[in-house]
Amino acid sequence: MNAQATKQKSTSLLNPELLKQALKHAFVKLHPKGMIRNPVMFTVEIGTAVMLVVIVNILLTHTRSQGSLAYNIFIFIVLFLTLIFANFAEAIAEARGKAQAESLRKTREETPAKLVAPVGELRVDEIQIVSSSQLKKGDVFICETGDTIPTDGEIIQGLATIDESAITGESAPVIREAGGDKSSVTGGTKVLSDKIKVRVTTEPGESFLDKMIALVEGASRQKTPNEIALTILLAAFTLVFIIVCVTLKPFADYAKTPITIAALISLFVCLIPTTIGGLLSAIGIAGMNRALQANVISKSGKAVETAGDIDVLLLDKTGTITIGNRKATRFYPANGIDDSRLVEACVLSSLADETPEGKSIIELAGKDSWKNLSLEGTAMIKFTAETRCSGIDMPNGKRIRKGATDSIRKMTEKAGHVFPAETATKVQEIAANGGTPLVVCENEQTLGVIELQDIIKPGISERFERLRKMGVKTVMVTGDNPLTAKFIAQKAGVDDFIAEATPLDKMNYIKKEQSGGKLVAMMGDGTNDAPALAQADVGVAMNSGTQAAKEAGNMVDLDNDPTKLIEIVEIGKQLLITRGTLTTFSIANDVAKYFAIVPALFITSIPALQGLNIMRLHSPESAILSAVIFNAIIIPLLIPLALKGVEYKPIGASALLRRNLMIYGLGGIIVPFIGIKLIDLVIRLFF
Amino acid sequence: MKTELLGVVASFLLTLLLAFPLGKYISKVFRKEKNWFDFMAPFERFIFRICGIDVTREMNWKQHVAALLSLNMLWLVYAFVMFLFQGSLFGNPDSNPSMSAHLSFNTAISFLTNCNLQDYAPETGATYLIQLAVLMFLHFVSAATGIAALVVVFKAMQDKVVDKMGNFFELFLKSITRILLPISLVIALLLVFHGTPASFDGKDTLITMQGDTSVVSRGPAAGMIAIKHLGTNGGGWFGANSAHPLENPDYFTNIVEIVAQCLIPFALVFSLGFFLNRKKMAWSIFGVMTVGMLCFLLPAMHAEMKGNPAFDHMGLSQTTGNMEGKEQRFGPAASSYWSILTTVISTGSINAAHDSFMPVGGAMQMLGMMTNCFYGGNGVGILNYYIFIIIAVFISGLMVGRTPEFLGRKIEAKEMKIATIIALLHPLLILTFTAISSFAITKNPELSWLNNKGYHGFSEMLYQYTSSSANNGSGYEGLGDNTPFWNITTGFVMLLGRFLPIIGPMAIAGVLARKKFIPESAGTLRTDTATFGVMTYAVIMILAALAFFPALTLGPLAEYFSFR
């Protein structure tokens, strides 16, 4: 995804439309039925309700034992705001996710579709124009130049160039064709040329985007196992403080220090982890949003989380580690063969060769080499897996072949020629250096060898280094022979490789790692990748891949970018870190809050406890108010952090723990001391 | 003053010096490696044979818990019945009466749970037969129960998928025959040589220097005093516990007894390192425990050696520090050291009156019991610490961006549920029951429970339940605790505070042991580092100590600030 697309998709936090929508939802979410899913905030809601009862009671009976009316109303308002802030955090995360998903979905809504009407069992090309929303799974439609593809599907006939910029932000068109691994098209993309026949693969409202939107909206959002465990911990903290506050009443009665209900509820709300409790679901949604921003559609929140735990990463060599395909880098003529003769043979055999390797040979030979050559009357010999060579038959009877060493060798030796020793050594040498040797012969006589080299992507070895520091082992998957694979693996800095890989090899490798307790992630696009994608703990299917691959994986990458896995791992880690650090921060805050509220509770009856008032807060009322106000406003202040996520640094687990403990643990102890004191300086003017 | 401090440092170092090899030895015993006491094997086999126990039958965690609970149940009934009828049984030279039903209930639970809250005066309340055949017996078996439970958890923590973790009866018996029995024999001999009685004769009379006739209780005490410390039990032969001149005759025996009570708790931490071959982790746990202990010891010691500020206000000199409730032969430093270690370790034996400590000392003693995991009692200390490790692993795992795992196993919802329930239990029991007693006394001021009114009276109640829930057994003697209310409520608190925190860690370890074992990788958060130690300490202090802040404010803190 390019930078422009990122900008376009990351909705600004201060978008007034979003804010308004989120604010409305913040009030709607006050319904206890929804609140009970979050035990921490639910208890705050109960506390707020109790305060309301206290206020009504004061109004009716004019009792003075519970403090002044204004003070009680103030506490009520602050508690109510705490609830609103927490709900707002969740609502804004949902709104942002929805906005992102909607902007993707908008492109595909209500586009006319050229439905191919079935006639009995047959489908003749009788076209019927319907709305895209009427397309059902199994329907077949046609798209021609200029048409917008109405929905997700699989090409069953034809080939077309397609502009996928609406989805990926990438302006370069891509080719999609029937059969093979690039047969999938996405709704909302545009056909630039040619005509394709597509079969619909999803029911309306069940595309990946629809699923993602549903996840973000919370209708089908389920708590992940980790979220459940954290909720248990937070519920336990809440319970401890319920016990602390309830028992405080008889303790205070024994010490003859009456405590007002407002003070008791304030103490309780301050002590329970409202900060993390209020932000917890926002963090989870934001994690999925970040994945969406990276143009990855996750089928569940759990998949994003699991990505953070990945131990082993399977990466395809081509496209991920190396740039596209191999390039010819040098010609090595055999002894006694003229340099120009080899080049001419190479060029002749490659002129009609459309493969990237063939083109790169022409490129290497240079323009001058083929100006005077003509292909008239020649016959192309296509590459087959059996012969493992390709070539050209000239009208003058010349037969030029280029191909794998052993097949050319067999061919020449069969014809009675000797395979030149220096070419054999050269072949060895090229392979050892990570290249692919391509031997060329003319009329079964070896002319020399072409060296094809893989170009390793710039910056890729740094990324692998980063992954290694995260504790992720990288494995390169390639169809190359072990020698070449080893060379590239070393050069790129991956930890391991699978050479001459078949889909079964991948599968076995994943199973082997998993049986050792490792979590494995892989990316794939082909149908034959589907079993491995399903087996992997995190399987990322490319959007261009086949439907089978997309069904098997638990994420879909809209950009078809093989390096995306690295980003996904970081998003997963960020999600957990944000949860962990904010929990720590929230709990560490309790120290300062205790020192603000506990002396305030008893100071009137036990003046000696002024010694505990280390912040020198003005009065019991101002101390309690300052603490609850701090407790409330810290939630909106941390919303940006919750949505953005705490940065992940690959500096090793212990160093990272040290760092986060310093910032969020120690910071969590110190910040509220300062914050509460500052608020008190303002509040003291009123109480 | 310097020599006083030197004595404290020396006893700590001596404990460390003895505990390290002992830890290695304990690990050998339970790993069934060759060890000195293999000659006990025929005796052990004999016991198994007459009990009809097949030690080759290994148990999973649930079977372990069942074995542990059924054994304990048996002893509870046995002890209860013996107390009820002790007056009519033999071995009663002083003709002490039988215990009341509620006192029997309390005392039976108290000794079974390794707590030893003694709501009776042993000299007049327990016969020799009871002291030996019930109390001393329970000293041994309750300590062995804790050690055996811990070894079950050790076995579950190995680097492989584990379902069966040895035979509980074997672990239990070996704890006695190979560890508790031999060492307490040595300690008892040391005590006898320094004047602790070991005779079956009844009370002795002597003429004091003033010419008065005084009656002194005696009895076969040395053995019980030895195991009372080694087993971190704390229930003494005499009412004054180790402040009694016959129970703790001189500074030497004082060192023997303080070393004895710290010995196994220290050693078990090291044996964790040897057993699992994770020595660094053992040291890191030991480090955290020691720092935790020092954070309580230093303020307490400082306050005691400085003396009572009220004396300063009156212009009285107190060069010896606060001597109220202290024994001349020990002084404030050694008494503070003892009082903090006996509270963090859950022994609960005393060599000075905790009631008479300065408020800071009192607060620190209570915090020692509230955290209850810095060293802690035999076996159970590490089990408590294990709960906090699970919670610390969970939070810090999140902080480094990985699903939390401890020793190669993922910590998930089920384990967190058990861990948080156990962590919650302690504040729940202490605060709820203190609240009930506060409520009762506020409504019925005529109740004569409290020797002191006001903050100190509150501290007495808070201390009593803290001590019960932590299975410590020491008390503020100002509290009149031999009443049905106190005997019954503390009985329940002790039972819950003992068995749930043993079952919880066994369950967590048992569940984790069956999970897939994930070998360490570069991304794994190491749990044997100083950073993780700090994290664990923070979790303990925030979860265990912070919950008690308001209560402590109304007790010792209020007292402290009014004293100044």
How far apart are the CA of A473 and the nearest CA of chain B, in angstroms? 9
Least confident of A412-421, B184-193, B340-349, B380-389: A412-421
Please give the structure tokens belonging to residue B530: 């100083």
Q: Searching chain B, which residue's CA lies closest to the CA of residue A569?
A: B401
CB contact under 8 A, A244 and B557: no
Among candidate residues B531, B350, B403, the one with its CA nearest the CA of residue A226: B403
**Closest chain A residue to the Cα of B431, Cα to Cα:** A247
Would you call B400 and A601 a contact, using CB atoms and an 8 Å cutoff?
no
Confidence grade of residue B293 (pLDDT, cut at 50, 70, 90): very high
* Partner-chain residue, chosen from B436, B523, B529, that has the shortest CB–CB distance to A471: B523
Q: Give B456's DSSP letter.
A: H
What residues contact B536, with CB distance under 8 A and at least 6 apart?
B288, B385, B388, B389, B392
Kindly determine whether residue B542 and residue A590, on different chains, have CB atoms separated by under 8 Å: yes
pLDDT at B169 over 60: yes
User: Using the beta-carbon criterion (under 8 Å), do A665 and B432 form an inter-chain contact?
Assistant: no
Q: Residue B24: what pLDDT?
A: 96
User: Which residue pairs, CB below 8 angstroms and at least 24 apart, start in A128-137?
Assistant: A132/A108, A132/A187, A133/A109, A133/A204, A134/A204, A135/A200, A135/A204, A136/A200, A136/A203, A136/A204, A137/A200, A137/A201, A137/A202, A137/A203
| Pairing, β A555-557 against β A538-542 | parallel
pLDDT of residue A37: 83
Q: How far apart are CA B463 and CA B387, in angstroms?
A: 23
- Beta carbons of B396 and A661 less than 8 Å apart: yes
* Residues 6 or more apart whose Cβ sits within 8 Å of residue A550: A184, A208, A541, A543, A556
Nearest to B398 among A254, A579, A594 (CB): A579
CB contact under 8 Å between A471 and B524, yes or no, is yes
Domain count for chain B, please give it.
1
Give B409's contacts in chain A (Cβ within 8 Å): none
Model pLDDT for residues B55-72, shown as the tens digit of each residue: 999 999 999 999 999 999
Query: Is the confidence at residue B305, as pLDDT, over 80?
Result: yes
Which residues of chain B lie closer than 8 angstroms to A473, CB-CB? 521
The pLDDT of residue B85? 92
Residue B455 to residue A255, Cβ atoms within 8 A: yes
Which residue of chain B is at minimal alpha-carbon distance from A238? B424
B369 vs A469, higher pLDDT: B369
Range of the domain at B543: 2-562
Question: What are B506's two structure tokens?
Answer: 């066994």
Shortest CB distance from A657 goes to which of B391, B525, B546? B525
Average pLDDT over residues A57-61: 90
- A648 contacts in B (CB within 8 Å)? 401
pLDDT in tens, A313-325: 888 777 677 776 6
Distance CA B201, CA B128 (A): 10
Asked if A661's CB is within 8 angstroms of B416's CB, the reply is no
- Round to whole Å and give the CA distance between B21 and A402: 75
A224, closest residue in chain B (CA to CA): B413
Query: Between residues B463 and B453, which one has the greater pLDDT?
Result: B463
pLDDT value of residue A208: 63
Q: Which ipTM score applies to this complex?
A: 0.90
Q: Is B401 close to A574, i.e. CB distance below 8 A?
A: yes
What does pLDDT average to over chain B? 92
Say if the Cβ atoms of A472 and B427 lie within 8 Å. no
Q: How far is A153 from chain B (nearest CA, A)?
A: 36
- Burial status of residue A619 (CB atoms within 10 A of its CB: 0-12, 13-18, 19 or more): middle
Mutate to test the interface with B, among A237, A247, A512, A651 (most CBs of B within 10 A): A247
**Over A103-161, what HEC string results?**
HHHHCCCCCEEEEECCECCECCCCEEEEEHHHCCCCCEEEECCCCECCCCEEEEEEEEE
Among A490, A491, A484, smallest CA distance to A431 is for: A484
- The per-residue pLDDT for A329 is 85
pLDDT at A125: 65
Average pLDDT over residues B314-341: 89
Contact B525 A594 (CB under 8 A): no
Residues of chain B with Cβ-Cβ distance to A608 below 8 Å are 558, 561-562, 564
pLDDT at A3: 38
**Residue A446 C-alpha, separation from nearest chain B C-alpha, in angstroms:** 51
Cα dihedral across residues A296, A297, A298, A301: positive or negative: positive
Find the CB nearest A254 among B442, B519, B542: B442
Provide the pLDDT for residue B424. 92
Please determine, for residue A121, whether its predicted confidence score (pLDDT) is greater than 90: no
Q: Are B424 and A587 inside 8 Å of each other by CB?
A: no
- A316 has catalytic annotation: yes
What pLDDT band is residue A1 in, cutting at 50, 70 and 90? very low
Q: Which one of A316, A480, A559, A590 is the catalytic residue?
A: A316
The distance of B412 to chain A (nearest Cα, Å) reads 6
For A307, nearest residue in chain B (alpha carbons): B402
Q: What is the DSSP track for B92-139?
A: -TT-PPPPPHHHHHHHHHHHHTT-----S-HHHH--HHIIIIIIIHHH
Of A229, A253, A257, which is closest to B412 when you measure between CB atoms? A229
Search chain A and give the residue with CA nearest B432.
A247
B402, closest residue in chain A (CA to CA): A309
How close B524 comes to chain A (CA, Å)?
6
Segment B455-467, tens digit of pLDDT:
899 999 999 999 9
State whether B521 and A517 contact (CB < 8 Å). Answer: no
Nearest chain B residue to A587 by CA distance is B542
CB contact under 8 A, B400 and A660: yes
* pLDDT surpassing 70 at residue A375: yes
Does the pLDDT at position A222 exceed 80?
no
Instruction: Name which of B400, B415, B449, B463 to mutate to probe chain A: the one with the most chain A Cβ atoms within 10 A of its Cβ.
Output: B400
The pLDDT of residue B177 is: 94
Task: Decide if pLDDT at A498 tops 60.
Answer: yes
CB contact under 8 A, A580 and B408: no
Q: Flag if A239 and B424 touch (Cβ within 8 Å).
A: yes
* Higher-pLDDT residue of A9, B160: B160
Contacts of A573 in chain B (CB under 8 A): 401-402
Q: Is the pLDDT of residue A11 over 60?
A: no
pLDDT of A120 reads 57
Residue in the structure block whose two tokens are 């005759």? B249
| Chain B environment of A652 (Cβ under 8 Å) | 522
Q: Which residue of B has its CA nearest to A663?
A: B399
Choose, out of B402, B405, B432, the residue to mutate when testing the contact with A (most A CBs < 10 Å).
B402
Predicted local confidence at residue A124, as pLDDT = 63
Which residues from chain B sit within 8 angstroms of residue A248, using beta carbons? 550-551
Chain A residues with CB-CB distance to B558 below 8 A: 255, 602, 606, 608-609
pLDDT of residue A5: 40
pLDDT at A108: 55
CA–CA distances in Å: residue A603 to residues A21, B438, B454, B459? 45, 20, 16, 19
Measured distance CA(B231)–CA(B211) in Å, rounded:
40
- Please indicate whether, in this complex, the C-beta atoms of B522 and A469 are within 8 angstroms of each other: yes
Chain A residues whose beta carbon lies within 8 Å of the beta carbon of residue B400: 577, 580, 653, 656-657, 660
More confident residue, B105 or A384: B105
- Tell me if the pTM is above 0.80: yes
Q: Which of B412, B551, B562 sits opposite A608 (nearest CB)?
A: B562
Q: What is the pLDDT of residue A8?
A: 41
Span A194-210, pLDDT tens digits: 888 888 887 776 666 66
Checking if the pLDDT of B292 tops 70, the result is yes
Backbone φ and ψ of A388, nearest 5°: 55, 35
